[in-house]
């Protein structure tokens, strides 16, 4: 048999037999049609998967780092406020108890200062655990979903209230306090007795607290003790009447200002689509700062944070500039700003983070401005500042340069990082900054090389 020159062996093998009957031909064609249908279906499926894969949500992981009270949780709240406003609103009632506890803590600081002024050493140094008002409030409001911080023996200030993020404290709080309107306008069947008692107790004390806070002698005593409550975390004394009203519901601003120390890890997830880009699944982690300072700082630091370093695309490091004249709550020998500088040094020099995008928030600029305007001397605490002017512009730029020099000097490889001057309690400006951070992260190398 001769083979036609234009027929290859495969085509030849697939050719119908020369003596094919009409029935056999029909059966063969039927089989071929079915085979083609199957093949088309498979092609379609492959195409669908390819398109779905292109559209599939990629993940961006951000870790929030910084010393205690630097503003990590507040930044996380801003992420929630921007990206999941409904969920944020749903948690509003839970924050009311935190605001109330913040008020009680401020009042206790005043009472302690007054007691100290009267040289009543025992009451000035009383341990926080025997304060009846705060204990009652705490027990009634938190339903046991709390951990209390340990205050050093010689520290007259009350220990901070902290809630382990692993505990369902928001649920506990909202269960206890979620029927505000019912309790005012109608039957109070749903609000537990304990919660109502605590709120009524605070409401009944409202007038006394206002008088105490506005008393000129109290102001004088606080001045002598250099206790600037208005610069402290969780300050609501200028709004006592409003926040202790029975109908009080915290505003966004109140929630951003409320202070609740984090223990453990808080996580926030949301999906974000920038322009016509692929949607990204964002995961923002707020990891508690666990340094107790009894041991070498690095040991604790590594233990708490390093497990999160591995897969992070970016770190937002918060350094509160306002801490230039303050010491750490956990160690009164360490200046807060110096501590931030030390932590920044550790972060930038970590080989584990050499490819991680670094975003520096020089935070609490609003407090820094107020402090400098009221005459606090920057140079007195940051001696290297020399005789530069004692104003916000110069002080903040000086610190920005300091952080940049450290990054340049200690980074394992040359790297760019982004610096922002922030006041993360200001939701509008923070929203703009976080918007630009999110955009930058997607469009940067991160977007091109690691995610897309
Ligand atoms: N005025 C002002 N207050 C701020 C700013 N950032 C944070 N705060 C307040 O400072 C307090 C501490 O902030 P957090 O976000 O709880 O600090 P944190 O870093 O999470 O602290 P830990 O949970 O202890 O690790 C809160 O009461 C915030 O409202 C800021 O830029 N300006
Ligand atoms: Mg926190």
**Which among 249, 94, 85, 258 is positioned nearest to 161, based on CA atoms?**
258
CA 42 to chain CA centroid, nearest Å? 46
* 38 in a known ligand binding site: no
For the CA of 160, the closest atom of ligand 1 is 24
| Predicted local confidence at residue 129, as pLDDT | 45
* d(C-alpha 11, C-alpha 284), whole Å: 59
pTM of the entire predicted model? 0.74
CB atoms within 10 A of CB 288: 19
Average pLDDT over residues 429-437: 89
**How does DSSP assign 335-365, residue by residue?**
BHHHHHHHHHHHHHH-GGGTTSEEEEEEE-H
For the CA of 288, the closest atom of ligand 1 is 25
Ligand 2 mean position, distance from CA 386 (Å)? 34
What ligand is nearest to the CA atom of residue 426? 1
Ligand 1 mean position, distance from CA 365 (Å)? 12
| Predicted local confidence at residue 9, as pLDDT | 58
Of 63, 67, 73, the residue with max ligand 1 atoms within 8 A of its CB, to mutate for a pocket test, comes to: 73
* d(C-alpha 176, C-alpha 94), whole Å: 9
3-class SS string, 281-296 = EEEEEEECCCCCCCCC
pLDDT digits (tens, 9 = 90+) for 323-345: 999 988 777 788 999 999 988 99
**Which among 95, 115, 111 is positioned nearest to 208, based on CA atoms?**
111
Average pLDDT over residues 399-414: 94
| Predicted local confidence at residue 384, as pLDDT | 93
**Spans of all domains in the chain:** 59-87+263-272+281-451, 91-250
Q: Is domain 59-87+263-272+281-451 classified as CATH 3.40.50.300? A: yes
Distances (CA, A) of 154 to 122, 128, 325, 333: 11, 12, 21, 13
User: ipTM beyond 0.85?
Assistant: yes
User: Is 172 a residue whose pLDDT tops 50?
Assistant: no
What ligand is nearest to the CA atom of residue 75? 1
* d(C-alpha 24, C-alpha 36), whole Å: 18
Phi, psi (deg, nearest 5) at residue 284: -115, 125
**Which among 439, 451, 34 is positioned nearest to 276, based on CA atoms?**
439
Q: Provide the pairing of β-strand 161-164 with 147-148.
A: antiparallel
* d(C-alpha 349, C-alpha 84), whole Å: 34
For the CA of 289, the closest atom of ligand 1 is 25
For residue 425 and ligand 1, the question of a CB distance below 6 A is answered with: yes
pLDDT digits (tens, 9 = 90+) for 38-77: 777 777 766 665 555 555 556 788 999 999 899 999 999 9
**Which among 382, 374, 281, 269 is positioned nearest to 323, based on CA atoms?**
382
pLDDT digits (tens, 9 = 90+) for 195-221: 677 788 889 888 988 999 999 988 998
Sheet containing 261-263: give its strands across.
147-148, 161-164, 261-263
User: Is 30 a residue whose pLDDT tops 50?
Assistant: yes
């Amino acid at each position: 048999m001769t083979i036609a020159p234009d027929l290859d062996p495969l085509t030849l093998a697939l050719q119908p037999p020369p003596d094919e009957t009409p029935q056999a031909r029909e059966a063969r064609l039927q089989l071929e049609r079915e085979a083609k249908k199957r093949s088309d279906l498979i092609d379609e499926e492959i195409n669908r998967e390819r398109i779905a894969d292109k559209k599939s949500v990629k993940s961006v992981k951000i870790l929030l780092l910084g010393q205690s009270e630097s503003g990590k949780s507040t930044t996380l709240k801003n992420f929630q406020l921007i990206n999941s406003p409904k969920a944020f609103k749903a948690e509003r009632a839970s924050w009311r108890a935190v605001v109330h506890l913040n008020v009680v803590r401020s009042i206790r600081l005043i009472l302690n200062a007054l007691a100290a002024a009267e040289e009543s050493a025992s009451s000035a140094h009383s341990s926080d655990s025997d304060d009846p008002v705060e204990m009652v409030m705490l027990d009634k409001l938190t339903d046991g979903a709390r951990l209390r911080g340990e205050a050093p023996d010689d520290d007259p200030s009350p220990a901070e209230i902290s809630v382990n993020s692993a505990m369902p404290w928001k649920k506990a709080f909202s269960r206890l306090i979620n029927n505000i309107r019912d309790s005012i306008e109608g039957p109070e069947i749903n609000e537990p007795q304990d919660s109502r008692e605590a709120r009524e107790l605070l409401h009944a004390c409202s007038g006394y607290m206002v008088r105490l806070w506005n008393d000129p002698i109290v102001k004088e005593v606080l001045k002598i003790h250099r206790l600037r409550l208005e610069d402290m975390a969780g300050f609501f004394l200028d709004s006592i009447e409003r926040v202790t009203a029975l109908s009080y519901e915290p505003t966004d601003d109140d929630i951003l200002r409320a202070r609740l120390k984090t223990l453990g890890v808080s996580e926030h997830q949301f999906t974000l689509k920038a322009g016509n880009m692929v949607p990204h699944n964002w995961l923002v982690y707020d990891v508690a700062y666990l340094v107790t300072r009894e041991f070498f700082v690095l040991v604790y630091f590594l233990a708490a944070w390093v497990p999160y370093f591995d897969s992070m695309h970016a770190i937002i490091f918060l350094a509160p500039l306002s801490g230039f004249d303050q010491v750490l709550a956990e160690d009164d020998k360490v200046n807060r700003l110096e501590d931030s500088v030390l932590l920044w040094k550790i972060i930038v020099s970590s080989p584990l983070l050499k490819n991680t995008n670094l975003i520096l928030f020089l935070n609490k600029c609003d407090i820094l401005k107020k402090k400098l305007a009221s005459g606090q001397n920057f140079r007195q605490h940051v001696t290297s500042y020399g005789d530069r002017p004692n104003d916000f512009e110069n002080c903040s730029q000086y610190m920005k340069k300091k952080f940049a020099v450290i990054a340049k000097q200690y980074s394992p490889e040359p790297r760019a990082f982004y610096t922002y001057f922030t006041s993360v309690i200001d939701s509008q400006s923070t929203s703009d900054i976080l918007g630009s951070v999110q955009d930058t992260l997607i469009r940067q190398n991160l977007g091109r090389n690691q995610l897309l």
